[in-house]
Structure 1
């Protein structure tokens, strides 16, 4: 464990989905995701008898805890810190496998991933806080951790709380930059957690999991527009899951078409071909709208449709990002185009351009 007076501070970036949403929740199906320069920062400092967890988002719900017989014991039960607590548990399970003594500490969370009035942009704040908490605790306990191990620790912690989703936002927060992400088999993880020792689970290959770092073409400009209305990813993913059983044929076609589209798009990145990437963004938008027709998830809201239409008017291509239903849309445009007019038109239609850049994680 690090010295008592040392303040450890780490950050993890938020993310946006570029393509492959919904299909990515199925094991082995790809998505392209980007990490952004908006962060969750977690700070840890050793404490004596009473530890605390404080978040600038939830000042009134700060929680205090002690340790009894190696377990955390909380003084107040009703708290919004489930992801942080799950991240702490998973990291301390890892520490125990390395026979590290557990300490008491003050943990502080600060986030850029919400607007000033507390509304979420949809940048994956629960994933970023999970990743940042684990990174900070690995430093605090002096635990060996690389990107692959950090992903697995954070995926276990996040999945334990959320119970659905692809964990692609965890991958973006861990690896940074532009990534092609193939999700692993979450049903396998549930079984594996029961059947393998924790350290074995961290060291083994996870079926279906693949993360490839991508380099965008030099002229590619990513624009992000926010509709101002938040969406619940968990609820939207659940709604699609409920309806896919009824429309099995349509859903299987959607999956296969999405996989083919993403394969072509990933090749566009490998070949530095902006036009190819843009063509597949359009294909992916159409596929999501087809999915919407038989699941009634309301993925592309009227304002998100307007965001896409405006981008096309000014020579770009655009689509919803993530689960849709609100939050953000993304546009991909050649930076030679007149981007200022596109952004002004978004603003005129109550779409807020977000001035975010791609964030690359250091090795």
Structure 2
């Protein structure tokens, strides 16, 4: 039996700008996981997820292809991950097998609501990791990222794939997205082995080390949000306000460069200053895209954090989900957390997860 896990993530800064090729964001991997288990099977395989127990699917293999008994299923990311990995396996001469694949997830609340930790990315990464082990495929972090990015992009069609990078590399990362239009063309021109070995235009991933005094606090609003829907809404409105959008991109890029420099120099104050600037830039973006990025409860989360000496903002696409606060670990953390809880903001006791080489 093979069992692997992949962590969820939270965006720290650079949201929305990161969907454009080469524009930076900072993302962190958290110690909440998707676990994928694979057991070899004889003639009938299965895919089972604790999230979709009533929709478990069974499959067999005919002439090398997976054939499903269920027409409608919610396993799109898992199936895309399987297809991409098995296409790669075929290019290196592996025979395809039959297996039972099981998915367990920590990335939702007990009542099934999503925290916004990138569960679709984590399940994609974990499925590919497990299948690479099952088929004994040569894969390092860079190849795993590329396989998972391809699989995820085939389903979602938008987004930066930064959540894939966080799930693969772990810890704190500075991420710049690759050119997605280039990938669409490259898939038609190169085989998998070539695609995994080449440099992808615009892609840059740097591991960051935070200052020792930096404490990351996460608060959840209890209201799930759709990243794809919000990114689409910004994309629709940016065409109408091209100059304002370009100003947002340029200002976000400058802000993130200064923030990354703050990580490199271990300067907590510099990081906090840029977090505040990034929050302001996202609110300016909201004014002309009407995406409703910072909800009233997220504003309350930020205001409370500032009362206790922290700097806070929305995390990810906003519209609900989580907010993050960056604060000196010597400050009154318990009082901040208690005031969040008193204002319908659920503190999440998650920690940063580092992936082993």
- TM-score normalised over the length of structure 1: 0.98
1:17 paired residue number: 11
**Once the two structures are superposed, what CA deviation does each residue of 1:189-237 show, in whole Å capped at 9, x if it has no partner?**
0111111122111110000000000000000000000000000000000
Secondary structure in 2 matching 1:246: coil
**Once the two structures are superposed, what CA deviation does each residue of 1:123-158 show, in whole Å capped at 9, x if it has no partner?**
000000000000000000000100000000000000
1:76 paired residue number: 70
In the alignment, the residues of structure 1 paired with residue 288 and residue 102 of structure 2 have an alpha-carbon distance, to the nearest angstrom, of 44
In the alignment, the residues of structure 2 paired with residue 14 and residue 197 of structure 1 have an alpha-carbon distance, to the nearest angstrom, of 30
2:310 paired residue number: 316
1:296 paired residue number: 290
In the alignment, the residues of structure 2 paired with residue 157 and residue 135 of structure 1 have an alpha-carbon distance, to the nearest angstrom, of 13
**Once the two structures are superposed, what CA deviation does each residue of 1:14-42 show, in whole Å capped at 9, x if it has no partner?**
00000000000000000000000000000
1:155 paired residue number: 149
In the alignment, the residues of structure 2 paired with residue 336 and residue 107 of structure 1 have an alpha-carbon distance, to the nearest angstrom, of 45
RMSD over equivalenced CA pairs, Å: 0.3
In the alignment, the residues of structure 2 paired with residue 344 and residue 361 of structure 1 have an alpha-carbon distance, to the nearest angstrom, of 31
**Aligned: 1:95 with 2:70:** no
1:202 paired residue number: 196
Q: Give ranges in structure 1 of 5+ residues lacking alignment.
A: 1-6
**Once the two structures are superposed, what CA deviation does each residue of 1:268-301 show, in whole Å capped at 9, x if it has no partner?**
0000000000000000000000000000000000
Secondary structure in 2 matching 1:38: strand
Alignment partner of 2:138 out of 121, 138, 144: 144
Secondary structure in 2 matching 1:13: strand
In the alignment, the residues of structure 1 paired with residue 270 and residue 73 of structure 2 have an alpha-carbon distance, to the nearest angstrom, of 47
In the alignment, the residues of structure 2 paired with residue 169 and residue 77 of structure 1 have an alpha-carbon distance, to the nearest angstrom, of 29
In the alignment, the residues of structure 2 paired with residue 84 and residue 348 of structure 1 have an alpha-carbon distance, to the nearest angstrom, of 38
**Once the two structures are superposed, what CA deviation does each residue of 1:51-83 show, in whole Å capped at 9, x if it has no partner?**
000000100000000000000000001100000
1:218 paired residue number: 212
In the alignment, the residues of structure 2 paired with residue 31 and residue 18 of structure 1 have an alpha-carbon distance, to the nearest angstrom, of 8
In the alignment, the residues of structure 1 paired with residue 27 and residue 140 of structure 2 have an alpha-carbon distance, to the nearest angstrom, of 20
In the alignment, the residues of structure 2 paired with residue 283 and residue 188 of structure 1 have an alpha-carbon distance, to the nearest angstrom, of 32
Aligned residues: 357
In the alignment, the residues of structure 2 paired with residue 197 and residue 150 of structure 1 have an alpha-carbon distance, to the nearest angstrom, of 16
**Once the two structures are superposed, what CA deviation does each residue of 1:318-347 show, in whole Å capped at 9, x if it has no partner?**
000000000000000001100000000000
2:271 paired residue number: 277
1:120 paired residue number: 114
In the alignment, the residues of structure 2 paired with residue 97 and residue 327 of structure 1 have an alpha-carbon distance, to the nearest angstrom, of 40
In the alignment, the residues of structure 2 paired with residue 126 and residue 281 of structure 1 have an alpha-carbon distance, to the nearest angstrom, of 26
In the alignment, the residues of structure 2 paired with residue 198 and residue 213 of structure 1 have an alpha-carbon distance, to the nearest angstrom, of 26
In the alignment, the residues of structure 2 paired with residue 216 and residue 247 of structure 1 have an alpha-carbon distance, to the nearest angstrom, of 36
Q: Give ranges in structure 2 of 5+ residues lacking alignment.
A: none
1:344 paired residue number: 338
1:3 paired residue number: none
2:22 paired residue number: 28
- TM-score normalised over the length of structure 2: 1.00
Alignment partner of 1:66 out of 60, 64, 71: 60
